[in-house]
Structure 1
Amino acid sequence: MNVKTEHKNLSKTARLTGLWYLMMAVTGILGFMVFHSQVFVSGNAEQTLTNLVELESTARVRLLLEFGIVISQALTAVWFYKLFKDNYEWEAWTLGLWGTVNAIVIMISAISMASAIGIANSDTNALEDKVLLIQVFQNMIKYAWSIGGLFFGLWLFPMGYIVVKSKRMPVWLGRVVILGGIGYVSSAFIGYAGLDFSFNKFLTLPATIGEFWMIGYLLIFGIRPIKE
């Protein structure tokens, strides 16, 4: 296979990676910013139970969006491995593995959502038992995502490292992605250490910038050819 053909195939892989990444971003935004608060009310299991019954269709859309996040996260991890494995095999394995762990963490949240919908709409539990179980499942959803921030951050380290090392994407893109990884991991540790700093909510901002930059670059430019 000549160099041009190889680069063309790799660019297709890069754009598919960007497509899966975009799907993950879209399902995440829709799930959290549009649908989640319509159903799951933080600190109020009674209202959440009511929403799960009266807004069952909305709750199921929220669950399907969580499925979308799980699937697209797994596919993104696999395609990143495929994109980088030939030149950075160890780092690509790490990126793919930690990205897959992200999908598993989100799956725990999806299982909890499905369980909450099932309990809320069952006829076999007393109201008090339903409220207690809904509270448990709400906490599982919350902590799956917040503790999952460890691996949401970790998978950004090999991603950013490969970009910086290979120079096949903008070097500053890689640096911002690494900074985002540091922010995610730090946010998880600070939050569970019981520390409440005013800047906590900004720690994951570099990750947001870096990931959307990565999505845009993959979709528009693909990947640069190897410099001779």
Structure 2
Amino acid sequence: MDKGLNLNIDDKRSKLLATARTAGIWYLLMAISGILGFLILHSQVYSANPEQTLSNILEAETVARLRLLLELVIIVSQALTAIWFYRLFKSCNEWAALATAIWGTVNAVVIMVSAIAMGASIKIALSSQLLEDKIISIDVLSNVISNSWSVGGLFFGLWLIPLGYIITSSKRMPVWLGRTLIVGGVGYLLSTIINYSGVTTGSWTRILTLPATIGEFWMIGYLLIFGIRPVTKEN
């Protein structure tokens, strides 16, 4: 009986570890696609000047389409990460795990608006419309893209807070990892609110989201290397 019980426990631990590492893979894919798409390629296509954006799309259509494809990867990987986090953490705190999944999925939906605008901007740039009409349309779509990412910061912050709470309360991962994620989540919320408040800000607002970046890569590394700690009496 004890042998069978131990085998059952080992099987559950193995499945939980596989779930953790799968979540880590989706999270890593989201991070890579975000770095390549938003931080590297985005400025090569989309500019504050709509005429320059139009020129960039016409002269480097491949880059513009690659940027769009990476946006789709961000959306899919964000949604899958949210789902796998729910699977991983529902036994720790189902309510917080559900909140993490919901906010993560909502963030993916918000970024989907950006992807739709990107697809439309490429189509308009390559169309036979008058040049002035193209510039006006691309200006509007570029603003939709930038504002989708800005508003998405709210939901990205919201999904990090319950995620950090699960970690700190369950102690199934390093407590300071959870605290870093919570601080990072609050930082995203504050950064978004400040940016939309009309207050003139400098690059210092980026410091508010730095803990989130640290926490995310820490989380990815922990999931891929260690997975999740087993349940103990101390947990």
- Whether the TM-score (by the shorter chain) exceeds 0.5 is yes
Q: CA deviation at 1:38?
A: 1.1
Aligned CA RMSD, in angstroms, stands at 1.0
Q: Distance in 2 between matches of 1:200 and 1:130?
A: 33
Q: What is the match of residue 99 of structure 1?
A: 104
Q: Which residue number in structure 2 is paired with residue 203 of structure 1?
A: 208
2:152 to 141, 145, 148: 148
Residue 34 of structure 1 pairs with residue 40 of structure 2 = yes
Q: 1:62-112 CA distances to partner (integer Å, 9 max, x unpaired)?
A: 000000000000000000000011231111111100000010011000000
- The match for 2:17 among 7, 11, 21 is 11
Alignment of 1:110-125 (within 5 A): 110-123=115-128, 125=129
Q: Paired residue for 2:66, among 51, 61, 77?
A: 61
In the other structure, the counterpart of 1:48 is 53
Structure-2 separation of matches of 1:132 and 1:207: 36
What is residue 165 of structure 2 aligned with on the other side?
Answer: 161
1:184-223 to 2 correspondences below 5 Å: 184-198=188-202, 199-223=204-228
**Larger gyration radius, structure 1 or structure 2:** 2
Mapped pair 1:136 → 2:140: yes
Displacement of 1:13 in angstroms is 0.2
Instruction: Measure the CA separation in 2 of the matches of 1:197 and 1:46.
Output: 26
Runs of 4+ displaced beyond 6 Å: none
CA apart distance, 1:15: 0.3
Q: How many pairs are equivalent?
A: 226
Gaps of 5+ in 2: none
Distance 1:211 1:127 in 2: 43
Q: Deviations over 1:111-161 (max 9, x none)?
A: 0000000000011x1110100000000000000001111001000011000
Structure 1: segments with no counterpart, 5+ residues: none
- Native 8 Å contact 2:30 2:77 kept in 1: yes
Out of 208, 221, 231, the residue aligned to residue 226 of structure 1 is: 231
Partner of 2:180: 176
User: Could you tell me which amino acid in structure 2 is paired with residue 202 of structure 1?
Assistant: I
SS state of the match for residue 224, structure 1? coil
